[in-house]
Amino acid sequence: MAERLVTLNVNGVTIVRFKDKRIVDAGNIEQMGDEMLQLVNAQHLKQILLNFEGVEFLSSAAFNKLIELNKAVKDVGGVLRITGLRAEILEAFKMLRLNKIFDIRKTEADALKAYGVTN
């Protein structure tokens, strides 16, 4: 059972939202990482959209989990996209050059459109 994440399926795209506003606690990050990897490894989902609306802070350990998830999704031929980043979190992605690795979209609708989903 997911304790850190809320998932929703929209036309074959799994939208993942985060329950925590601040993703900093090592135990919570580990659990969040496990839950995200389960989406790929156990549920065999390939189109995953991480929606960070409501998330105020990510620790460096959380970034590591996102990199792991991105690799897992790519390994199964899937696509991971990110949306809903606050300006300061987006700035951290840019400083770490993760904006070169991740497909980051401004809105959930933009990201869904990139998957070919229209509402």
Q: How many CA atoms lie within 13 A of 57 on its CB side?
A: 4
Query: What is the pTM assigned to this prediction?
Result: 0.95
The string of pLDDT tens digits covering residues 77-117 is 999 999 999 999 999 999 999 999 999 999 999 999 999 99
Rg (C-alpha) for the chain, rounded Å, is 13
Q: How far is 53 from 86, CA to CA, in rounded Å?
A: 7
Is 117 a domain residue? no
- Which CATH number goes with the domain that contains 104? 3.30.750.24
2 close to 36: Cβ distance less than 8 angstroms: no
- pLDDT above 90 (res 2): no
Is 83 a domain residue? yes
47 close to 78: Cβ distance less than 8 angstroms: yes
Is 75 a domain residue? yes
Is 118 a domain residue? no
- Provide the pLDDT for residue 119: 60
Q: How far is 85 from 89, CA to CA, in rounded Å?
A: 6
Q: What's the domain count of the chain?
A: 1
Is 32 a domain residue? yes
Q: Report which of residues 118 and 56 the model is more confident about.
A: 56
Is 61 a domain residue? yes
- Provide the pLDDT for residue 1: 57
Q: Report which of residues 55 and 1 the model is more confident about.
A: 55
